[in-house]
Amino acid sequence: MDDGLCFNEKLIFKLSDEIDSKEIALSFLAEQLYAKQYVTEGYKKGILEREKIYPTGLFTGGINIAVPHTDCIHVRCDAFAMGVLSKPLTFYAMDDPEREIDVNIIFMLALSQPHGQIAMLQKVLALVKEQEQLKKMINCKDVKTIYDICLKYLIRGDE
């Protein structure tokens, strides 16, 4: 793993149609990080509040993603969780908070150092450029395939 980042198959979730809002999806992912003690109890509230002020949807022209995160004071151990949605959810765009976009994959960051968010965002953007890999992540039935793709782009990086 990269600098102690906690990420494994148990932090990847194929989210069903029953998840019908970004708030439910974000709450679910935050609760998973909290249950594994990677974040504090305040993390979920921090994620939801920050999303209202600084939206995290990223329009790619293909498969859109969201990269929610919050203040590092809520993080016990660097980690990230993923939600791969069975149907897109509406988020507001990071670069245009008035514009709604449909998001297919959520990369929820829990990083203890502010500079870590920039480095991880760069890795996420490298993966986003590989739209075929994102399509594979959405269409596969097992989280092992998603995990393997993430290891290549988000954890190992330039190796």
- Residue 1 included in any domain: no
Could you tell me the pLDDT band of residue 2, with boundaries at 50, 70 and 90? very low
- Residue 3 included in any domain: no
pLDDT at position 4, please? Answer: 65
- Residue 4 included in any domain: no
Each residue's pLDDT tens digit, 146-155: 999 988 887 7
- Residue 2 included in any domain: no
Count of Cβ atoms closer than 10 Å to residue 104 Cβ: 21
Q: Is the pLDDT of residue 157 over 60?
A: no
For the ranges 32-36, 104-108, 120-124, 139-143, which has the lowest average pLDDT?
A: 120-124
pLDDT at position 152, please? Answer: 86
- Please choose, from the candidates 142, 156, 135, the residue with its C-alpha nearest in 3D space to the C-alpha of residue 9: 142
Q: For residue 39, what is the domain's CATH number?
A: 3.40.930.10
- Residue 151 included in any domain: yes
- Please choose, from the candidates 22, 11, 75, the residue with its C-alpha nearest in 3D space to the C-alpha of residue 48: 22
Q: What is the mean pLDDT of residues 153-158?
A: 64
- Residue-range definition of the domain harbouring residue 42: 9-155
Furthest C-alpha separation in the chain: 38
- Single-letter amino acid, residue 147: Y
- Please choose, from the candidates 66, 9, 75, the residue with its C-alpha nearest in 3D space to the C-alpha of residue 44: 75
pLDDT at position 156, please? Answer: 60
Give dist(CA 5, CA 45) in Å, integer: 22
Q: What is the mean pLDDT of residues 105-126?
A: 86
- Residue 31 included in any domain: yes
Q: Is the pLDDT of residue 158 over 70?
A: no
Per-residue DSSP letter, 95 = S
Question: Domain tally for the chain?
Answer: 1
pTM of the model: 0.92
- Residue 87 included in any domain: yes
